[in-house]
Amino acid sequence: MNYDEFKETYELINRKFEKLQEEVASYKGVTIPYLYYTDFVDYAMNKLGIKFQNTSMPDELADKMSGMLIVANGKKKVVVNKKTHPNRQHFTLMHELSHALLHADLNKSQSFSDLLDDNSYSEDEQLDEAEANIGAGILMANDMALHHAIIDNYNFYNFARNVGMSSSALYFRTRQFLSANFGMNINGYDTIKLTNLCEKYGFGIILEKIGESYRGFFDRRMEERGEKFCDLTILEFNNPYFQRPSWLLQNMS
């Protein structure tokens, strides 16, 4: 997937999942930045009728598969391999939920497997898997949550722990966020370098390194999400430990 294809795919999934985030936030009575993966599981079970099962898989599958989505008889069921690390289980839940929302057809019998070896997918499966990975990252650490982390200079590892992600999953999610929103090649030197700096110094380094570009992102999000995004940013001013850039203060005056 080249950059243009990635950006188009990311934007389509993000728009779809932003609507879901608003629905889940309303259902759970929380704000979007504080949505947790279990909120989406709860909503999917009780509002969308998707079943979830954490199970011990047979040995021949347990070492190869972290989970799967089964679509049959007009129903969807997510199965997660409980032998994998908890953070992997969290990501698998969101990966398979993404399949359920993006790819499942209730008029067919289907299965989508989350394999531990990415090289085991056929060429036809690779696009769906890439989309499900993008979706899982967005559900676990949405753009609003990352904005929150950047403005308040959250510690990278604390943020990963707070959202239930492994540091490696958050590392790739950060690269996706930078690439989709700031025109940076997801595999490019600058993207990887900035993500490494986030890992070392905290998310606030993004403001220091790409301040004007981040202003453009901020303005776009203000236009797209209006009051909700504005309210979130006003809340951030209560944190006395991080220096906001002057353009942010001017925007909120």
Residues 117 and 16 in one domain: yes
pLDDT for residue 234: 47
Residues 156 and 126 in one domain: no
Q: Total structural domains in the chain?
A: 2
pLDDT tens digits for range 29-78: 988 889 999 999 999 999 999 999 998 887 777 778 899 999 999 999 99
Residues 116 and 132 in one domain: yes
pLDDT for residue 131: 95
Residues 148 and 109 in one domain: no
Residues 105 and 149 in one domain: no
Looking at 117, 140, 163, the residue that finishes a domain is 140
pLDDT tens digits for range 97-152: 999 999 999 988 888 888 777 667 777 778 889 999 999 999 999 998 998 899 88
Residues 200 and 116 in one domain: no
pLDDT tens digits for range 153-199: 999 999 999 999 999 999 999 999 999 988 888 889 999 999 999 99
pLDDT for residue 31: 87
Residues 135 and 147 in one domain: no
Residues 181 and 111 in one domain: no
Residues 135 and 153 in one domain: no
Lateral strand order in the sheet of 65-72:
51-55, 75-81, 65-72, 110-115
Residues 240 and 147 in one domain: yes
Which range marks the domain in which residue 242 is found? 142-253
Q: What CATH code is carried by the domain that includes residue 47? A: 1.10.10.2910
